[in-house]
Structure 1
Amino acid sequence: MKACISVPATIANLGSGFDTFGIAVDLRNDVEIESADYFSVVEEGIQITGKDLVLKAFIDTLKSYGIKEKFRIKKRTRIPSSKGLGSSAAAIVSGVALGMRVSGRSSMDELFQISSQMEGHPDNVAPAVFGGFTVSAKLSNGYVCQVMDPLCEEITVIIPPFSTSTEMARKILPSEIPLNDAVFNIQRAALLVATFKNGKKIDKELFNDRLHQNMRLSLHEELKDFFDTLSETSDLPLFVCGSGTAIGIIGHQKVDVKNGW
């Protein structure tokens, strides 16, 4: 048996929509499976040893459906890891989707539920599965998602040469926040969705945040200085991509960056 899938990179949060907003971007990982005598992972003709998230998600999904068949995984990875572009969500969605394909299942909601459970949150998984601009959450009856048209036709992503692990980016966030900061984000996130749904121009201030970005930017002083300068000089909305370190700009903008960025 053979099957293949292509899963997009995604950007979560978009500033004010912490752990809620997500968008898919046109950068993809391709994964193919074929029946084999044992499980293995090959990338660019080289066999991968050690842990692999696509393989883990794939095997876990097969086991959940009682499938014992073995496969070789061939993948082409274009989404950089630890940059805030949804590399882990793309890997999980790839593995789960291919496991479902082997079992004969094709429910997009089932794919969304299983992948979100594995990832632990749905903000990157939702656009990886459904595309477009998504608003997602975990409710008492499971993970839910509303899918809208793409937020923009073009997005500029600036990728610095250093990385931040999701674990570290979450560890530095406070367990409690001031009420005024919570209200600040709620107002802007709600207005962003309403403005977009009404077809109006979205003000760059609606992407502003008080819950996570400054703390995550502080992990890299050079990145924080770059973001602050760009925020002052650009007329376009900008934000930290996911937990960082990439910076996203809604629209096309030429930016002077250092070598290696």
Structure 2
Amino acid sequence: MKPFMIKVPASSANIGPGFDSVGIALERYLTLTVTPGEDWEFKHRSPLLPEVPNHEEHFIFKIASKIAAKHGKELSSASISVDTEIPLARGMGSSASAIIAGIELANRLAELDLTAEQKLRHAVQIEGHPDNVAPALFGGFITAVQFEQELDYLILPELDVDLIVYIPDFELKTEDARRVLPDAYPRAVATRASAISSMMIAAFMKGDYNLAGRMMERDLFHETYRARLIPRYDEIKPEARELGAYATVISGAGPTTISFAPSGKGEEIARRMQSLLPDYEIAALRIDTEGLQVSDLD
């Protein structure tokens, strides 16, 4: 086995009304450097990652082993250095990036020769829905839907926007964020929420970012319920809009929030918002358009 590297972007899901079906890839990355080894070893190179003393308990190893077993194969042992810029349990797709990394690790170590669609199907079976794993795999701005055994996705035209993420210093587990959502919605609410989501996608495809921004902030599916779990969220939205952002929404299940802004204004908005939120990590980002990257090392 030749040494190789796996690089997977972070992601932000929902984008307001695109609940469980819309996501974007972000220019922050999980990176695995894989070299031959007689025994399994995971070495963490980031303070964002907890120590895992036993490789069999490592999340990425579990994913890789599961995928290899599904194809009747076994993994060859390896020494893996793991680095990440993606904080855990912050709504930036840390689990989705790890799932994609684990699938690709199995693909290489067990010589599975998986297609992109097979990788996506494996990822959705593990994650439960495609909104984070599809952008992590393909990059860009993606809408996807699973209906029974059918899985469809569409990569939208590249967006000319800057992104600003506001990352608080606490975790919010996805299961806790889902617990505050209603079990069902009245038909009138569901109809309006669906229309808002459709209008948002149409506006993005036409490049009407002002209209898309208005739709992003009118979500009825989840933001109303989750906003109370995020301190100062009601302050971030109007302040970012005052500084020129099109809209601000919860990133995934939170607690990170994310603003969409005109191209070239991200750094300025991030800098000015940092003075308002000194206890947050605030960063201007772009949308990753590459998705999963795998490269051989010399």
The answer, yes or no, to whether TM exceeds 0.5 is yes
- Note closer, same or farther for the CA distance 1:107–1:229 as it changes in structure 2 (3 Å cut): same
2:255 alignment partner in structure 1: 245
User: Equivalences for 1:132-151 in 2 at 5 Å?
Assistant: 132-151=140-159
User: C-alpha separation between the residues in 2 aligned to 1:198 and 1:232?
Assistant: 21
Greater shift in the superposed pair: 90-99 or 133-142: 133-142
Q: What SS class does the counterpart of residue 158 from structure 1 fall into?
A: strand
1:178 shift after superposition: 2.3
- Return the alpha-carbon distance in structure 2 between the equivalents of residues 34 and 93 of structure 1: 19
Is 1:59 the counterpart of 2:65? The answer is yes
Mapping 1:158-237, distance limit 5 Å: 158-203=166-211, 204-207=213-216, 208-220=218-230, 222-227=231-236, 229-230=238-239, 233=242, 235=244, 236-237=246-247
Q: Is the CA contact 1:154–1:250 (under 8 Å) kept in the aligned structure 2?
A: yes
Instruction: Tell me if the contact between 1:40 and 1:47 (Cα under 8 Å) persists in the aligned partners.
Output: no
Aligned residue for 1:117?
A: 125
1:231: Cα distance to partner? Answer: 6.8
* Partner in structure 1 of residue 278 of structure 2: 259
Say whether the 8 Å CA contact 1:23–1:150 is kept in structure 2: no
2:159–2:207 Cα contact (<8 Å) kept? no
Tell whether 2:90 aligns with 1:83. Answer: yes
Structure 2, unmatched stretches of 5+, are: 281-298
Question: Using the alignment, how far apart are the partners of 1:201 and 1:68 within structure 2?
Answer: 46
SS of the counterpart of 1:154?
strand
The answer (yes or no) to whether the contact 2:4–2:33 under 8 Å persists in 1 is: yes
Partner-residue secondary structure (3-state), 1:80: coil
Using the TM superposition, give the Cα deviation of residue 104 of structure 1 relative to its aligned residue in structure 2, in angstroms: 4.2
Alignment match of 1:100 (pick from 94, 104, 107): 107
Q: Which residue number in structure 2 is paired with residue 128 of structure 1?
A: 136
d(CA) in 2 for partners of 1:30 and 1:120?
A: 23
- For this pair of structures, how many residues does the alignment match? 260
Deviations 1:41-97 (A, max 9, x none): 111299732543222112212222312422222111110111110000000000101
Q: Secondary structure at the match of 2:10?
A: strand
143, 158, 161: which one aligns with 1:153: 161
Deviations 1:170-197 (A, max 9, x none): 1111101122322232112111211222
Partner of 2:26: 25
1:228 positional shift: 5.3
Aligned mates of 1:61, 1:155 — CA distance in 2: 34
Distance in 2 separating the partners of 1:24 and 1:106: 21
Match of 2:232, SS state, is: helix
In structure 1, distance between residues paired with 2:239 and 2:90? 18
What is the CA distance between 1:166 and its match in structure 2? 0.4
Give the drift of 1:224.
3.4
In structure 2, give the amino acid aligned to 1:218: R
C-alpha distance in 1 between matches for 2:77 and 2:222: 42
CA distance in 1, matches of 2:24, 2:202: 16
Gaps of 5+ in 1: none
Tell me if the contact between 1:196 and 1:202 (Cα under 8 Å) persists in the aligned partners. Answer: no
Give the superposition deviation at 1:232.
6.7
> Normalising by structure 1, what TM-score?
0.91
Using structure 2 for the length normalisation, give the TM-score. Answer: 0.80
RMSD of aligned C-alpha atoms? 2.1
Contact 2:97–2:133 (CA under 8 A) maintained in structure 1? yes
Say which structure, 1 or 2, has more relative contact order (CA 8 Å, 6+ apart). 2
- State the identity as a percent: 26
Which range is displaced more, 226-235 or 248-257? 226-235
Runs of 4+ in 1 over 6 A off after TM superposition: none
- Check if 1:71 corresponds to 2:71: no
1:205 Cα shift? 1.4
Q: Which residue of 1 aligns with 2:11?
A: 10
Q: Is the partner of 1:218 in helix, strand or coil? A: helix
Deviation of the 1:16 alpha carbon: 0.9
